[in-house]
Structure 1
Amino acid sequence: MSNGNSREITTSQLGIHDKLDELVKKYQQSENKRPISAHTQQAYDEVDSWLDGFNGEIILDSCCGVGESTANLAKAYPEARVIGIDKSALRVDKHEHYRAQSDNYRVVRADVNDFWRLVRQSDWHVSQHFLLYPNPYPKKTQVQKRWHASAAMVDLMAITPHIEVRSNWLIYVLEFAQAAKHYGALSNLSEVTGETHMTPFERKYRASGQVCWKLRCLSEED
């Protein structure tokens, strides 16, 4: 029996967007010339200094919210360095409530669009990238606000092919899988099960009786 009150996603879009492939190909052939925001450059520089030439595995947790998932990942991968990124100072400032007793991770405020471009240009060895419950923008007219149908997808896919996306909207993850295929990535889709929750969103949605989905991307060489 459900004991939450989260509303399910409502949308007039009933399947993968008919413009998705066209948008993915368009951005693959264009150059992103948007200036990097100053606060994101500063956040990147601080993290790069913290890494201090670390040559082990680096894990990104983008749109991490309050950073509960970042702390969970840090505990799960103690030999790695984990970086949580979120655009909201309010959410990042709440991370103290979720902080793990670990020194192998950082949570920073930054624009992921810019942060991904900086990471792509770096010599970081990013082994995994998590996108856990980002806003899916469910209106059909909002498709270009979804990561996989935006200019940011080029940088996202260049960082690492090992990406995990979670959402309570099945169309979102199906679209991501189709977009990732344009970059040579393969995908596995499954339902989130078990009692452990990666984020407050996951806990809330599942408590409300909603199905949450997990998409894992990998390269053809894996």
Structure 2
Amino acid sequence: MQAVSSKVHSSQAGVHPGLPALVKRHASSSWRKPVQQVDLPALEQLDAALEKHRGAVVLDSFCGTGRSTAMLASRHNDALVIGVDKSKHRLDRGPEAPDNCLFLQAHCEAIWRHLVAREQRLLAHYLLYPNPWPKPGHLGRRVHGHPAFPFLLALGGQLELRSNWQLYVEEFGVALHLLNQPSCVALVPTDTPALTLFEHKYRESGHQLWSVAAKLS
């Protein structure tokens, strides 16, 4: 029997009051953290794949085992679909990659910045159940609170983030709005295939699943 997944609990009752100042501060500066040695092999793989493909690119950030990446590769069969996760253990548990699929072990923020430096625009970008960091003091660890968030937006394309924590999704939407990117928050339909193991687990546990989508300009 599959274990029941617990819902996200947080003492944060609404959008974090520090979000506007944090998002605007990051937007007015540039994230300059040096490239980590651990990310260099992935960046080289990425460059080689992009030189060979030279077509539409779809990114699946924080892809975990890569189940979602493989499914997205079938959905976007004319694009190069790239799944990125920092955990080799998770990636090693993934499915066999379709021909138009590339898995990279790296920090997603490093991949975003590298793609921006290459002036690579995305067709679509998926962030499916990244860790929401529910404690109020962890705002800076959330995707929209990270200093690399402006690089994510600069990649453009159709963006979708999903989570079983409604507040996290709404807060991401507010961060987009603060940077003049309209978005739409909605429940994820239950009559579509689960893209990730997390999504399957949350559905089986009776959670409502939320998404925020935006066409990045």
TMscore range, shorter length? over 0.9
Q: In structure 2, what is the Cα distance between the partners aligned to 1:189 and 1:32?
A: 28
Q: In structure 1, what is the Cα distance between the partners aligned to 2:193 and 2:62?
A: 20
Aligned to 1:43, the other structure's residue is in SS state helix
Q: Which residue of 2 aligns with 1:131?
A: 127
2:125 touches 2:159 (CA, 8 Å); kept in 1?
yes
Of stretches 83-92 and 124-133 in structure 1, the one that deviates more from structure 2 is: 124-133
Alpha-carbon distance, 1:32 to partner: 1.4
Q: In structure 2, what is the Cα distance between the partners aligned to 1:27 and 1:52?
A: 31
Q: Which residue of 1 aligns with 2:197?
A: 200
What are the within-5 Å matches in structure 2 for residues 136-147 of structure 1?
A: 136-147=132-143
Deviations 1:34-53 (A, max 9, x none): 10112212202112202325
- Give the gaps of 5 or more residues in structure 1: none
Q: In structure 2, what is the Cα distance between the partners aligned to 1:182 and 1:120?
A: 21
Q: Percent identity?
A: 35
Q: Which residue of 1 aligns with 2:69?
A: 70
Q: Is residue 2:176 matched to residue 1:171? A: no
Aligned to 1:217, the other structure's residue is in SS state strand
Q: Which residue of 2 aligns with 1:213?
A: 210
Alpha-carbon distance, 1:195 to partner: 4.4
Of stretches 36-45 and 58-67 in structure 1, the one that deviates more from structure 2 is: 36-45
What are the within-5 Å matches in structure 2 for residues 43-192 of structure 1?
A: 43-95=42-94, 98-100=95-97, 102-192=98-188
Q: In structure 2, what is the Cα distance between the partners aligned to 1:111 and 1:125?
A: 19
Alpha-carbon distance, 1:10 to partner: 0.6
- TM-score, normalised with respect to structure 1: 0.92
Q: Which residue of 2 aligns with 1:12?
A: 11
1:56 touches 1:125 (CA, 8 Å); kept in 2?
no
2:128 touches 2:163 (CA, 8 Å); kept in 1?
yes
Alpha-carbon distance, 1:172 to partner: 0.7
Q: In structure 2, what is the Cα distance between the partners aligned to 1:125 and 1:87?
A: 22
Residue type matched to 2:54 in 1?
N
Alpha-carbon distance, 1:123 to partner: 3.5
Give the number of equivalent residue pairs. Answer: 215
- Give the gaps of 5 or more residues in structure 2: none
